[in-house]
Amino acid sequence: MLEPKMMKREIVKETLEHQETVPIPYYLNFTPNLEHKLRIHFKTNNLNKLLGNHIYWTSVVKNIPENIVDGKYTDIFGVRWENVGSTRGIPTHHPLTEPSLQDYYFPDSLPNERLKELENELSENRELFKLVKIGDLYERANFLRGMTNLIVDMYKHPKFVEDLLDQILQYNLSVLTKIQKLNIDGIWLSDDYGHQNGLLISPKLWRHFIKPRLQILFDKIKDLGFYAFLHSDGDIKEIIPDLIELEVDAIHPVQPEIMDLSTLKKKFGNQLTFFGCFSTQETLPRKKPETIKKTVKQVINIMGKKGGFIISPGIGFLDDVPIENALAFIDEVTNNEGIESISSKNSL
């Protein structure tokens, strides 16, 4: 352990304020199958405590639903999910079968029972940076309506799309109101906008339908004194200036397979914190442990200068990551001493 326990929260805050830290803060998360293997390897029932994460990440909705049967469940919005387990699953039923909100009712934003559970979770992890996922916006609209239908609706039924996004926004704002007095440091919005080669919708559509509502949501997050985190897979560099304008503090997962890390750091490193930046698509599952360790050093050297960096496997450790590769990453990240310890100046 490179720092006293109570410093972890402050180290994350320092990097978000673009101060260089020793060590670079990290966050490690795993699929249930890989986590089970690592618990056996380390002979522990509390992997998170052993690994010393700087961040405690949780969600207003439980990450593992209690009503899963044979890898299937229906979420609180009425979306049916299948193949749930090693990943979040696939939405197979979208409750809004027509471009209308008639007879559809949004769920309670946060039952009191879950609010109490959240309060206890956060209290038990007070020494860490506490990051809470409130939900999604564009992603939730996709789940409710189906991606293809929603994109068609943007052209044929724009008023419906506006109404749907407004209702989702109000749901998220109501969640914020309920949790605003909890011991939280950052708020996380999960809202995928990208694929491997660009945005899922045009920048024009994104700026028309999504950006104004993000502005309202992030304004509320900042007014409450929380840091604002945004998760979006894919190549989103075209809208990074917009996200900076919205005062987003950190973006995740920053996939190095499709966005050049050196360019991102040079252009936006003094305005954004990059959270992730390590390839779960290519490097972690496909390279040798020695390459994993070398690449960790390189990523830290590129992204850690002048703060603004939290290292993490981009989409977490998935089932296709060999345990020896996971162990190599864990060893290098948990023992890092910041960029000063790195002699290699090679870029990726």
* Band (292; pLDDT cuts 50, 70, 90): very high
**pLDDT of 130-154, one tens digit each?**
999 999 999 999 999 999 999 999 9
CB contact burial 116-136 (16+ within 10 A = b; e otherwise): eebeeebeebeebbbbbbbbb
**pLDDT of 250-259, one tens digit each?**
999 999 999 9
What pLDDT, on the 0 to 100 scale, is given for residue 340?
A: 61
**pLDDT of 114-129, one tens digit each?**
999 999 999 999 999 9
For residue 193, which of 209, 217, 174, 171 has the smallest C-alpha distance? 209
**pLDDT of 22-57, one tens digit each?**
999 999 999 888 999 999 999 999 998 899 999 999
66-71-76 Cα angle (round to 5): 45
Q: How many CB atoms lie within 10 A of CB 178?
A: 19
What pLDDT, on the 0 to 100 scale, is given for residue 108?
A: 85
Measure the CA–CA gap between 221 and 234, rounded to whole angstroms.
24
**pLDDT score of 215 more than 90:** yes
Its pTM stands at 0.94
Measure the CA–CA gap between 228 and 183, rounded to whole angstroms.
15
In percent, how much of the chain has pLDDT > 90? 85
**pLDDT of 141-197, one tens digit each?**
999 999 999 999 999 999 999 999 999 999 999 999 999 999 999 999 999 999 999
Q: Under CATH, which architecture does the 5-341 domain have? A: Alpha-Beta Barrel (3.20)
**pLDDT score of 314 more than 50:** yes
Measure the CA–CA gap between 102 and 259, rounded to whole angstroms.
41
**pLDDT score of 4 more than 60:** no
Q: Residue 310 in contact with residue 54, Cβ under 8 Å?
A: yes
Q: Peptide bond before 23: cis, by omega within 30 degrees of 0?
A: yes
State how far the alpha carbon of 133 is from the alpha carbons of 53, 111, 235, 282, in Å.
Answer: 17, 15, 22, 27
What pLDDT, on the 0 to 100 scale, is given for residue 346?
A: 40
Fill in the DSSP letter of residue 107. Answer: P
* Band (64; pLDDT cuts 50, 70, 90): low
What pLDDT, on the 0 to 100 scale, is given for residue 55?
A: 97
What pLDDT, on the 0 to 100 scale, is given for residue 316?
A: 87
What pLDDT, on the 0 to 100 scale, is given for residue 134?
A: 95
- Residue spans of the domains in the chain: they are 5-341
What pLDDT, on the 0 to 100 scale, is given for residue 62?
A: 75
SS (H, E, C) 134-198: EECCHHHHHHHHCHHHHHHHHHHCHHHHHHHHHHHHHHHHHHHHHHCCCCCCEEEEECCCEECCE
329 Cβ neighbours under 8 A, 6+ residues apart: 28, 278, 284, 292, 293, 296, 313, 317
Mean pLDDT of the chain: 93
Q: How many CB atoms lie within 10 A of CB 67?
A: 8
